[in-house]
Structure formats: C-alpha cells, structure tokens
C-alpha cells in the first residue's frame, strides 16, 4: 500500500514535518510513501487515504537541531525527490544521531548539495531582484513591483529578508510559480501561475547610464562575472542589455585608457593637494551667514561628513549678544537640517521658557556641524566627537563668531567647552564659571540637555533639569557683568 501525502505550496516544510513525524512513528518505509505538492498529479499506484494514526506504542521521533535546519532548506529545492530523501534521513537518524556528519553517505551528501543550491538561489534572488516603481504612492507608501525567476521554491523562506529590508514601502515580487505581496506591513501569497508582467519605470534609463559609466574595462573578467551573475538572470536586469557591447568594446577602451593614462605624481602631491583644498575651502565666503551655511554644505574635509545626511548650520539673529554652542547635531537635526530641533532641543526650549529667555533672541549653533553615530539595526546611536573632528569644525565656529561678534558664549556640554577653550577636563567643576574662549570672548558653561535626558526619570532628572534652568536664568546677569 502506498500512502499519498499532498503538501501545500505555503507552509510546505511545516506540513512535511508533521506528516513525516506521523509516518516515522508508525515505521512506514519511505518506499511506501508518495509525496506531492498541491496541483501535481499522483502516481499511478498511489492510494489516497488518511495517514496512520499515532498511539502510545509508536516509536518516539527525535532529531538533532541541525537536522531540522538542513531539512527546512532542502524542502525548498525543486527536485521531486527532496521529500523522500529528507524522510529517509529522518528514519535513519533515529539510530545514527551523527548521521549528518557523514558526508560519504549518499543521502546525506545529496541533502547537503541540495541545501547548498537553495542557499545560492536565495543569494541570487537578493542580488538580482530589481524593483520598479508602479503608480503613485498610496497612503504615503510608494508602490513597487518586481519579477524574478528562481530555480527553486524559495519565495516563502526569503520573504522575511525583503519585508525587513523594504519595510517602508509596499511591494510585490512575482515569480512563475508564486507571488508575494507586502502591503502596510502585511505579507500575503498567491500561488497562481504567472507570466512576466509589463513594467515601465523611467529610472531604469538613469540606472543604465550609471552602470555604463562605472563599468571598468581594465578589471573585466568575463568568467568571474558570468559566475556571479549567470546569464539566466540577464533578461530581467535592466543593465544586462548593455553588457555584450561593454564586453566587446572593453579591449579598445583599455588601450585608450593606457594612452591617456596620467603620469605618476610625486609622493608629496597628496599632501600639497590636501593643503590647497583646505585653504580654498576656508576662504571666508560672501553672503554672511547664508554664504557660510552654503559653503559648509560643500565642506568635504570633515571626518564625519561622509556619514551624515547633511551639515547643520547655526541659526539666529546676526546681532545677537549671546551665542549658545552645543555639541553636535542629533539624529533629528541631521535629517531636518536645523539646529536644536530634536528631543534635546525641545528640552532646551522648555528650559528657555521657564528661565524667562526667548530663543529667537539668541544665536544657536554646534561645535561640530555633522552628526556622528554608530548604526545599530535601524537606529543610529549618538557617538561623541573625537578631538580631530572638533578641530576640523573649529574654523566654522570661528567664522560664526566673526560674523555674530557676541559678547558672551554659553557652552552647552563638554564638547562645546573643549572647542571653545581647548580644555575638556574638569567640566563639572567649571560649570557656571566664566572663562576666556575663542577670540577672547567670555565663555559661560552649563550641561547639555541630552545629558539630562539620559538621567534616570524621577528625582535625578528633575533635580538636573532644575539646575539647568537655574544656569540659564543667570545668562542675563553674566552678560551684564562682561559687557
């Protein structure tokens, strides 16, 4: 008697695992089982009927953890024998717990080879799916679609990767056998057979232009390229149509590059070029604070600048008597391009109000103009600027001082105090004191609101905030004493 087991296209591994456990408990030989997916025709001698019912006398089924991991991958293979091979290994691993370590075993060897092929197919899908924007955004979410032709049944197991990677947009990935849709954070599947839809995306031409311009004929290795980007994927890649012509013209372009190649510069050329760049970038721009802000945006020599979204200039009246200098932009400031507009800025605004100060009467800026952070998942964790980064931005702070010509500077936090006085040590003891800063301008120091936000909620934070407000209340008094 042959048992016919029909498995669904969605949740295939879980269904196979459940059926295989019952069959193995009843010691049903693999030769008496025919596995198939929904919609596939059964064999000539397959007998439909319920699976064996388990009972107390059945043998327990125990497997090592790595067995399930291997089978979960193998079940995504396209070969019809994958279910039978996995079941054969399940039955044999009961007596040989270390069976999977025996690569000389024919079944084990085939299972590992299948798993390797599935993982490679998943890697290629991650690399070669090309989303194209389709239609206008819906409820603020942009709409994208893609077509891909995988070798194996990998759509369901790979969906989690795309859902995490492209969580901020709605998308559909269609394949000949299955379609997955992600809308408003919800995944759905359709197992209808499909043909490639007709997509149109105007950005494809831009992508082809970019690809052609970054193609380096001198580094061309056709075999390596074909191995990493097999020709079976080319028909669904917008840049693939350019590849034959780029390969054909590679040799001529290499000869042309050799003829036009530059001479080797002297070893000191890099240092000279760097000094010229710095000197040119640090010429006082025209246009006052607006010109300074525009020049700051073009500043390319800051160690943090390549990571941040944008440089964040100061803001406030050009005739302000008091300049407040903070540490650096935060995550919100980096995205919006405005100084003190994040959580710390909101606390500063509240403290200004309680201290009787009007924010619009003062000039606010930061010692460092870019946001320094460490990526952690989808979050960007604040990192304190190093001395080199403070020094790289000091010139901009000096230009702001020259334009504003304040009578008093309020240093908010340790980084600001270091940038203005050159000394970082002993910040707590220096709080509330008046020191000489850049250009001889008096510096009055207090804590940074972000420090208060890190204090434990309750008495500690309340006491810290009250002290901060008290420091701000003294600003008019300090200004009167130094003016």
Q: Which residues of the chain have pLDDT under 70?
A: 1, 42-59, 198-204, 206-207, 261-287, 291, 294-306
pLDDT tens-digit profile of 379-435?
888 888 888 888 878 888 888 998 899 999 999 999 999 999 988 887 788 999 999
Query: What pLDDT shows up at residue 194?
Result: 81
126 vs 223: CA distance, rounded Å: 21
236 vs 228: CA distance, rounded Å: 15
Domain co-membership, 145 together with 176: yes
In a domain, 207, yes or no: no
Query: What pLDDT shows up at residue 263?
Result: 62
Domain co-membership, 42 together with 95: yes
74, 97, 121: which is the final residue of a domain? 121
73 vs 100: CA distance, rounded Å: 14
> Which is nearest to 389 in space by CA: 307, 278, 303?
303
First and final CA of the chain: distance in angstroms? 102
The CATH number assigned to the domain holding 363 equals 3.40.470.10
With beta carbons less than 8 A apart as the criterion, state whether 424 and 418 touch. Answer: yes
Query: What pLDDT shows up at residue 46?
Result: 52
In a domain, 265, yes or no: no
Structure token pair of residue 223 = 């075999």
Query: What pLDDT shows up at residue 451?
Result: 92
> Which is nearest to 404 in space by CA: 282, 478, 316, 293?
316
Domain co-membership, 141 together with 45: no
201 vs 146: CA distance, rounded Å: 11
Structure token pair of residue 335 = 């995205």
CA distances to 9, 23, 332 from 3, rounded to whole Å, are 19, 9, 62
CA distances to 8, 68, 86, 109, 157 from 117, rounded to whole Å, are 22, 17, 15, 12, 14
Our count of domains for the chain comes to: 4
Query: What pLDDT shows up at residue 305?
Result: 59
Structure token pair of residue 387 = 């001395």
With beta carbons less than 8 A apart as the criterion, state whether 317 and 361 touch. Answer: yes
Domain co-membership, 160 together with 101: no
**Torsion from C-alpha of 140, 145, 150, 153, nearest 10 degrees:** 50
Give the Cα-Cα-Cα angle 476, 482, 483 (nearest 5 degrees). Answer: 80
Full domain range(s) for residue 134:
129-190
78 vs 75: CA distance, rounded Å: 8
Domain co-membership, 437 together with 355: yes
């Amino acid at each position: 008697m042959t048992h016919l087991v029909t498995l669904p296209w969605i949740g295939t591994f879980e269904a196979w695992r459940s059926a295989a456990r019952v069959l193995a408990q009843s010691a049903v030989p693999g030769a008496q089982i025919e596995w198939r997916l929904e919609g596939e025709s059964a064999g000539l001698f397959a007998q439909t009927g319920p699976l064996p019912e388990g009972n107390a006398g059945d043998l327990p089924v125990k497997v090592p953890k790595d067995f399930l991991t291997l089978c979960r991958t193998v079940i995504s293979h396209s070969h019809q024998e994958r279910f039978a091979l996995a079941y054969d290994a399940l039955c044999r691993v009961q007596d040989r717990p270390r069976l999977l370590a025996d690569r000389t075993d024919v079944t084990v060897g085939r299972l590992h080879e299948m798993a390797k092929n599935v993982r490679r197919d998943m890697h290629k899908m991650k690399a070669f799916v090309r989303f194209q924007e389709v239609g206008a955004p819906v409820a603020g979410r942009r709409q994208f679609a893609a077509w891909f032709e995988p070798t194996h049944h990998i759509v369901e197991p790979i969906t989690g990767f795309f859902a995490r990677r492209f969580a901020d947009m709605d998308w559909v990935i269609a394949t000949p056998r299955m379609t997955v849709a992600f809308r408003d954070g919800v995944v759905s599947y359709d197992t209808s057979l499909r043909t490639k839809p007709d997509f149109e995306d105007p950005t494809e031409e831009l992508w082809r232009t970019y690809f052609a311009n970054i193609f380096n004929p001198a580094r061309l290795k056709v075999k390596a390229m074909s191995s990493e980007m097999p020709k079976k994927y080319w028909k669904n890649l917008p840049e693939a149509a350019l590849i034959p012509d780029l390969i054909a013209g590679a040799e001529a372009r290499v000869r042309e590059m050799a003829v036009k190649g530059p001479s080797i510069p002297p070893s000191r050329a890099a240092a000279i070029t760097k000094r010229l760049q710095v000197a040119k970038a640090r010429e006082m721009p025209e246009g006052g604070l607006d010109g300074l802000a525009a020049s700051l945006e073009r500043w390319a020599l800051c160690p943090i600048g390549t990571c941040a979204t944008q440089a964040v200039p100061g803001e406030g009246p050009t005739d302000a008597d008091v300049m407040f200098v903070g540490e650096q932009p935060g995550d919100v400031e980096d995205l919006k391009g405005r100084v003190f507009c994040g959580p710390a800025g909101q606390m500063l605004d509240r403290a200004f109000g309680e201290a009787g100060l009007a924010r619009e009467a003062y000039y606010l800026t930061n010692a460092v103009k870019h946001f320094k952070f460490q990526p952690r998942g989808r979050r960007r964790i604040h990192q304190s600027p190093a001395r080199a980064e403070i020094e790289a931005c000091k010139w901009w702070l000096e230009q702001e001082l020259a334009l504003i010509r304040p009578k008093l500077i309020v240093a908010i936090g340790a980084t600001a105090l270091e940038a203005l006085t050159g000394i970082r040590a002993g910040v707590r003891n220096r709080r509330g004191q008046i020191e000489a800063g850049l250009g001889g301008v008096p510096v009055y120091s207090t804590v940074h609101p972000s420090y208060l936000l890190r204090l434990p909620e309750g008495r500690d934070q309340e006491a810290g905030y009250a002290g901060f407000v008290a420091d701000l209340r003294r600003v008019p008094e300090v200004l009167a004493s130094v003016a």
